[in-house]
Amino acid sequence: MARLFVAIGLPDATRKSLSKLLPGGVPSLCKAPAERLHLTLRFIGQADESIVAETLGEVSMPENLILKIRGTGLFGSEQHPKVLWAGIEAAPELIELQRTIENRLFDSGFARESRPWKPHISLARVRHSRALSATERQRRDRTIERFLNVENPTEFPELSVDTFTLYASETLAGMLHYREAKRFSSPARVTVASA
């Protein structure tokens, strides 16, 4: 069994722009590689791909689903941040898609997610280490402060979405890799709407 999650993939240009919100090489700031950035709709964990795929096949994509990247934030506290993220506006169609996926999985015997869902794209994890020097800690904290002051970056166009994907998280040769297990779509293609 694989570790599974359901997500909306992002266009390459959007992932590259999001990745630029944080510089590389900052001590204890573990940036997610641009190719792995996505909007998680539901983390499932260890499960049988075929059962989950069959369950998700019953989910219909809402019409006119638009993703709007809005602002930045963190999970944890400002004194002890854990994850840095870019926010996604909680459009009614997006909330409905996530609820439908959650309900279908529950109806098929999966436990409900215990935490409330907050639409976001995780960009980095913050590791806290006593081995950091005061200079390294200050550099990390200044980087996080600048990141949190990003309001609504204009380089992110609205994204028109008509697919979601079941992914399997695998470790290959010591590297984390996301394999597309099955894509679920409505008739139109994913396109980038003009701003």
Q: Is residue 195 part of a domain?
A: no
pLDDT score of 2: 83
pLDDT band at 186 (very low <50, low <70, confident <90, very high): low
Q: Is residue 28 part of a domain?
A: yes
User: Packing angle between helix 49-56 and helix 92-107, nearest 10 degrees?
Assistant: 130
Task: Please provide the average confidence, as pLDDT, over all residues in the chain.
Answer: 89
Alpha helix stretches (DSSP H) within 20-170? 49-56, 92-107, 134-148
Domain that holds residue 32: 2-189
Measured between alpha carbons, how far is 40 from 108 in angstroms, rounded to an integer? 20
The predicted model gives 94-105 an average pLDDT of 96
CATH of residue 43's domain is: 3.90.1140.10
Sign of CA dihedral 90, 110, 83, 21: negative
Statement: residue 34 has pLDDT above 90 = yes
Measured between alpha carbons, how far is 105 from 61 in angstroms, rounded to an integer? 16
Distances (CA, A) of 130 to 11, 26, 42, 78, 155: 38, 15, 33, 17, 37
Q: Is residue 159 part of a domain?
A: yes
Statement: residue 170 has pLDDT above 50 = yes
Q: Is residue 34 part of a domain?
A: yes
Q: Is residue 19 part of a domain?
A: yes
**In the chain, what percentage of residues exceed pLDDT 90?**
66
Q: What is the reported pTM?
A: 0.88
The predicted model gives 61-78 an average pLDDT of 91
Statement: residue 187 has pLDDT above 60 = no
Q: Is residue 42 part of a domain?
A: yes
The predicted model gives 55-63 an average pLDDT of 91
Instruction: Answer for the pair 112, 102: CB distance below 8 angstroms, yes or no.
Output: yes
Number of domains the chain contains: 1
Measured between alpha carbons, how far is 109 from 52 in angstroms, rounded to an integer? 10
Q: Is residue 65 part of a domain?
A: yes
Distances (CA, A) of 88 to 40, 68, 109: 11, 6, 29
Lowest mean pLDDT among 11-15, 126-130, 151-155, 190-194: 190-194
Of 185, 179, 191, 157, which is closest to residue 62 (Cα–Cα)? Answer: 185
pLDDT tens, 130-162? 888 889 989 999 999 989 887 655 568 899 999
Q: Is residue 194 part of a domain?
A: no
